[in-house]
Amino acid sequence: MLDQYPSLRANWSYPTAVRFGPGRIVELPEALKAAGIGHPLFVTDPGLVNLPIVIRALDILKRAGFPVAVFSKVDGNPTLQNLDDGLVAYRGGGHDGVIAFGGGSGMDIGKLVAFMSGQKRSVFDFEDREDWWTRADPKGIAPVVAVPTTAGTGSEVGRAAVVTDPADHTKKIIFHPLMLPKVVIADPELTFDLPAKVTAWTGMDALSHNLEAWCSPFFHPIGEGIALEGMRLIKEWLPVAVRDGRNVEARAFMLAASSMGAAAFQKGLGGMHAMSHPCSSLRGTHHGLTNAVVMPYILEHNRFAIDGRLAALARYLNLPGHSPQSVIEWILQLRATIGIPNTLKEIGVDEDIIPEAAPMAEKDPSTGGNPVPLKAADYEKLYRKAIRGEL
């Protein structure tokens, strides 16, 4: 289908080199050469490793003469053990770069394996705090070619990755500018067979990235512009992608909106992500689904600080009334249309999580980007409302 959709085909260099368009997975060997990779470790997850899209990608590499090994011991919420196992495979195989192929989990572990391949410190010494990234040896960071198969995390254009710290069960964001993949192949055909519910969950993750970036109080006009258009694409195309997974335009524009969200959240995230991370690490919930559930509760809590932002968003999206309330009503309607539950209780999170989760949320780096300062006591109330459905 390489030449069937010329209007959906482009080469981008922001924030990295992106080869976007249907059928462009055939360019994987060229992408490896451009990134300076001759012997890649192919990192994916166990749900993908035996599917046709992986088999085809490996066949493309084989026919191009690339020696490649596959690593797929990756959990849905990546762990330190996943990273350690990946590093053993990388170093033992004498690899010189990584193909990060998949959704958020495979992408994160792939990027972290490349990042940590030549480091001598613990990965948690590079958490996204202050200038901790300067501790890394840049010469010890291997190149990455990223191939997303979901439209949600946008990790393919991100400079960070998430891994769970077994010491305190918290999700830690690891950051370094050189963690950004050298080349991205964004082929919407790779997302065709994504189940409708996963399409919905990951699509809402992309919305949360764009929306929290838009509401963040930090100064980043470029991020704001990207976030605004990303939300327009999601409004138009997410319901279509959920309803018809093989609609190439819907898949393409959602893939673009996902990358846009990750580029935009350089401006900041907020309480949605701070609440979601403890739920994922303590109860194993899907990150995008959790963001989708807590989204309106955080927006309502932040209302007095973001009414102007929401009104501007409503005007851009041409929502009825062009008001802050119309944004919240649109989100509630969108959630109902694509099957997102109303409460955390419906996805397995009960009130017994609150004493442990609320302090974790306060310490989460995402909290710093929330428009309203949030402490553990605030998160206690927010978790209770999101579990009980008190909106």
- Are residue 217 and residue 269 in the same domain, yes or no? yes
Q: What integer pLDDT is reported at residue 6 of this predicted model? A: 79
Strands 69-71, 97-102: pairing kind = unpaired
Q: What integer pLDDT is reported at residue 129 of this predicted model? A: 86
Q: What integer pLDDT is reported at residue 313 of this predicted model? A: 98
At 196, list the tokens.
Answer: 């409708």
Q: Answer with the one of 173, 190, 207 that is the final residue of a domain.
A: 190
Q: Is residue 17 part of a domain?
A: yes
Domain count for the chain: 2
- CA pair distance 161, 353, nearest whole angstrom: 25
- Are residue 200 and residue 179 in the same domain, yes or no? no
- Are residue 232 and residue 116 in the same domain, yes or no? no
Q: Is residue 1 part of a domain?
A: no
Q: Is residue 230 part of a domain?
A: yes
Contacting residues for 102 by C-beta, under 8 A, at least 6 apart = 43, 44, 45, 48, 74, 110, 147, 148, 149, 150
Q: Where residue 48 sits, what CATH number does that domain have?
A: 3.40.50.1970
Domain with 262, as residue range(s), is 195-388
All residue ranges of the chain with pLDDT < 70 are 1-3, 12-13
Strands 183-186, 69-71: pairing kind = unpaired
- Are residue 224 and residue 362 in the same domain, yes or no? yes
Q: Answer with the one of 132, 167, 190 that is the final residue of a domain.
A: 190
- Are residue 24 and residue 70 in the same domain, yes or no? yes
> Of 157, 158, 98, which Cα lies nearest the Cα of 128?
158
Q: Is 101 helix (H, G, I), strand (E, B) or coil?
A: strand
- Are residue 89 and residue 204 in the same domain, yes or no? no
- Are residue 28 and residue 99 in the same domain, yes or no? yes
- Are residue 268 and residue 157 in the same domain, yes or no? no
- Are residue 181 and residue 32 in the same domain, yes or no? yes
pLDDT in tens, 125-143: 999 888 999 999 999 999 9
- Are residue 92 and residue 170 in the same domain, yes or no? yes
Q: For the chain, what is the radius of gyration of the CA atoms?
A: 20
Q: Where residue 353 sits, what CATH number does that domain have?
A: 1.20.1090.10
pLDDT in tens, 24-64: 999 999 999 999 999 999 999 999 999 999 999 999 999 99
- Burial (CB < 10 A; 0-12, 13-18, 19+), residue 196, is middle
Q: Answer with the one of 190, 217, 243 that is the final residue of a domain.
A: 190
